[in-house]
Copies of this chain bind each other. A is one copy, B any other.
């Protein structure tokens, strides 16, 4: 069993209206020292696999097929255990 953490972020050149909204909300609360906010997704998965390599291959396929939109998103991951 492998614990996997995936960070999915919008590519730099893609506009992030949700991040902008959060930035404005922070400003309205008095946090004027924030220059940029980008919102992404964070996923934690438990994957059964016989070894780390297999877990990684499965994860990559899951990301490509469902979890990530490769046109507008990037992802990074960490595999533990």
Task: Mark A residues whose CB is within 8 Å of B.
Answer: 1, 5, 7-9, 19, 22, 25-26, 29, 31, 33-49, 58, 61-62, 65-67
Contacts and interface: CB of A to CB of B under 8 A. Distances in A.
Task: Please state the number of chain copies in the assembly.
Answer: 2
A44 B34 contact: no
B42 A46 contact: no
B45 A37 contact: yes
Contacts of A31: 58, 61-62
Nearest to A67: B22
A40 B44 contact: yes
Contacts of A1: 35
A37 B43 contact: yes
A43 B34 contact: no
Q: When A and B form their complex, which 3 residue pairs have the shortest distance between CB atoms, in order from nearest?
A: A40-B42, A42-B42, A35-B46
